[in-house]
Amino acid sequence: MNYNLVSIILGILAILLPFIGLKFFPKFFLGKQVMFFTASFMLCNLAVVMQILEFKRKTEIGDYAAVLDTAGAVATVSIALMIIVALANLYCMAVKIFVKKEKTTEVSK
């Protein structure tokens, strides 16, 4: 199994999922969006787990040079993915909260 490819796909989905939820459920409360936030973090975690499984596979076949060569890059990209996913979720949450408040204040005027 190609864990790297699965990890890339899961990472991209983890980044896009909050924006997809924001696009398809703009009129709902934050409760519907929480499902997308949770799924996004779960996909992010699965992407990192796929990288761990890739390291496990490389050590089982004895490819220690590949593990040593890619360990730093994989750690950096995993941390960057987690930060990007967290920022995407926070951005979509802020948009959901502040747009909702602006619409309520416009209606009350």
* Nearest of 95, 88, 97, 91 to residue 43 by alpha carbon: 88
Write down the pLDDT at residue 101.
62
Examine the pLDDT at 82 and tell me if it is beyond 60: yes
Structure tokens at 2: 């190609």
pLDDT class of 55 with cuts at 50, 70, 90? very high
Boundaries of domain holding 22: 3-108
Q: How many domains does the chain have?
A: 1
pTM: 0.83
Q: What is the pLDDT of residues 10-44, one digit of tens each?
A: 999 999 999 998 888 776 667 778 889 999 999 99
